[in-house]
Amino acid sequence: MKSQKEAVDKALLFLNERLPTESEIGLILGTGLGDLAQRIDIQERIPYSEIPCFPVSTVESHSGVLLSGTLGGKRVLALQGRFHLYEGYSANEVTFPIRVLAGLGVQTLLISNAAGGLDPSYKAGDLMMLTDHINLQGENPLEGPNVDTWGPRFPDMSAPYDDAMAAMVDEIAIEHGLSIHRGIYAAVMGPNLETRAEYKLLRSIGADAVGMSTVPEVIVARHMGLRVAAFSVITDECIPELLKPVSLDDILAAARRAAPSLSLVFEGIVSRL
């Protein structure tokens, strides 16, 4: 069996031919936020299926394309479509694209996701910037032999989210009149949404939002020394006493409502980097 390092190197060999110009900024466009891609002046669109060893997405709401282009005057690489543990991918597969972005020269990573709001003041369609996270997925992408050239065996997680980018977000919020929550994201395996009792538990341990992604990618990005900013679009309100059934359509609709604001935030950060 090929090691993850060998697989990443193979993908890089291919991509270094296709993408001659370096990009220092990587974007992960989560659920319903593929529209963000419309603000990118795209030079290359590479379907994941063309990249050697790259996993291929199984969820319809996530297309699988690597975009290379410019946003806010900077060169960016954007992953349109991500992989989730609940699809059956291993934590190594879920984070393969992050290893590849880092290998292509990316030093700063901006991530978006859809999440349920646990803080009672959060409404569907709101945005939350992650200040910290709680990994409840029961998996870790760093499990197994460490690749020392990628990062340390025991990476620090005292500050996974970058303070300088958080300060930029304050400026951007004022500039565009946006109100952006700051909170703690709990990552669960999914794919079912939580029970009332689980939402109550998550709130009691300090989480402000809950979702099924992002944390594996952040762990790997930090392992490789990338600077990270991550944002949740609150797609449903998870207050145990007031809980109503939610459909995927409701979740996608809320994500779409927030997409214009999140686009402004991403573009604002990129232009300030």
**Shortest Cβ 35–ligand HPA spacing (Å):** 18
Query: Contacts with ligand HPA: how many residues (CB under 6 A)?
Result: 14
Torsion angle of the four alpha carbons 191, 5, 225, 89, in this order, in degrees rounded to the nearest 10: 0
In this chain, which of 26, 103, 116, 268 binds ligand HPA, going by CB under 6 A? 116
Torsion angle of the four alpha carbons 118, 132, 214, 53, in this order, in degrees rounded to the nearest 10: -160
C-alpha neighbours within 13 Å on the C-beta side of residue 25: 23
Contact window for ligand HPA (CB under 6 A) among 7-15, 111-119, 133-141, 173-181: 111-119
In this chain, which of 36, 65, 115, 258 binds ligand HPA, going by CB under 6 A? 115
Contact window for ligand HPA (CB under 6 A) among 44-52, 95-103, 110-118, 256-264: 110-118
Q: Which is nearer to ligand HPA, 215 or 228 (CB)?
A: 215
Residue 85 interacting with ligand HPA (CB under 6 A): no
**Shortest Cβ 37–ligand HPA spacing (Å):** 21
Reported as type and span, the H/E element at residue 251 is helix 248-272
Residue 126 interacting with ligand HPA (CB under 6 A): no
**Shortest Cβ 234–ligand HPA spacing (Å):** 8
Q: Which is nearer to ligand HPA, 140 or 192 (CB)?
A: 192
Structure tokens at 9: 């190197």
Q: Which is nearer to ligand HPA, 184 or 210 (CB)?
A: 210
Residue 238 interacting with ligand HPA (CB under 6 A): yes
Q: How far apart are CA 203 and CA 208, in angstroms?
A: 7
Collapsed DSSP state (helix, strand, coil) of residue 42? strand
In this chain, which of 251, 258, 262, 270 binds ligand HPA, going by CB under 6 A? 251
Residue 230: name the closest of 243, 215, 240 by CA: 215
Q: How far apart are CA 187 and CA 193, in angstroms?
A: 12
φ, ψ dihedrals at 159, nearest 5°: -150, 75
- Closest residue to ligand HPA: CB criterion: 116
Which residues inside 177-216 make contact with ligand HPA, applying CB under 6 A?
A: 188, 190, 193-194, 210-212
HEC string for 68-111: EEEECCEEEEEEECCCCHHHCCCHHHHCHHHHHHHHCCCCEEEE
Would you tell me which residues interact with ligand HPA (CB under 6 A)?
114-116, 188, 190, 193-194, 210-212, 235-236, 238, 251
